[in-house]
Amino acid sequence: MKATLPTVEEVKRLLDAVVDPEIPVMTIADMGILRDVTVSDTGAVTVGMTPTYSGCPALTVIEEDIVAELKGAGIEDVTVEVRHFPAWTTEWLTPEGKKKLAGFGIAPPDSVLAIVPEVLCPQCSSSGTAKVSEFGSTACKSLWVCTSCGEPFDYFKAI
């Protein structure tokens, strides 16, 4: 156990190493699924997280990675609270996270308030894109193609 109690800021810095296993360039903070961190007066750490979907297949892996990262830093008393309310929304993605999505070849979501999203190609930035399928490589993505460069790509659905 650490001689001094960890601070919330220290815990959040440690959690910057925990990534979404389906999109490994995105930290759980980038994804907006890391909702809060508390440290009790005894040093017990509670991490609150909200999965992107209630049936998210990466949920268990993310929970295990959070615990492993914190225990590896000497924090022994770790609890991960999975919260389904309020439901996760793409509005919680950070601006940096949206840039990382585009750099990874996934078009970031438009605002959930957009009636018709403008989906830009993550390869050439063209707005000449077309939806191929509502269903992409994971439940949170749909398949699109760029009519300018011909590149197929995933679009992170706005929810």
Q: Write out the DSSP string of 53-106.
A: STT-TTHHHHHHHHHHHHHHTT---EEEEE--SSPP-GGGS-HHHHHHHHHTTE
| pLDDT tens sequence for the chain (159 residues) | 446 899 999 999 999 999 999 999 999 999 999 999 999 999 999 999 999 988 888 899 999 999 999 999 999 999 999 999 999 999 999 999 999 999 999 999 887 776 667 899 999 999 999 999 998 888 788 999 999 999 999 998 887
Strand partners, 49: 34, 82
Same domain, 110 and 151: yes
- pTM for this one? 0.81
Answer whether residue 113 is part of any domain: yes
Check: CB of residue 47 under 8 Å from CB of residue 37.
yes
Per the structure, the complete domain to which residue 32 belongs is given by 8-82
Residue 90 lies in a domain: no
Confidence (pLDDT) at 13:
98
Is residue 66 located within the same domain as residue 115? Answer: no
pLDDT score at 114:
64
141: left (phi over 0), alpha (psi -120 to 50) or beta: beta
Q: Can you state the angle between helices 59-72 and 8-15, rounded to 10 degrees? A: 120
Confidence (pLDDT) at 1: 47
Give the SS3 label for residue 18: coil
- The number of helix segments (H) and strand segments (E) in the chain equals 4, 9
Instruction: Give yes or no: residues 22 and 77 share one domain.
Output: yes
Using the 3D structure, point to which of 82, 115, 130 is the last residue of a domain. Answer: 82
Dihedrals φ, ψ of 20, to 5°? -75, 120
Residue closest to 17 by CA, chosen among 91, 85, 70:
70
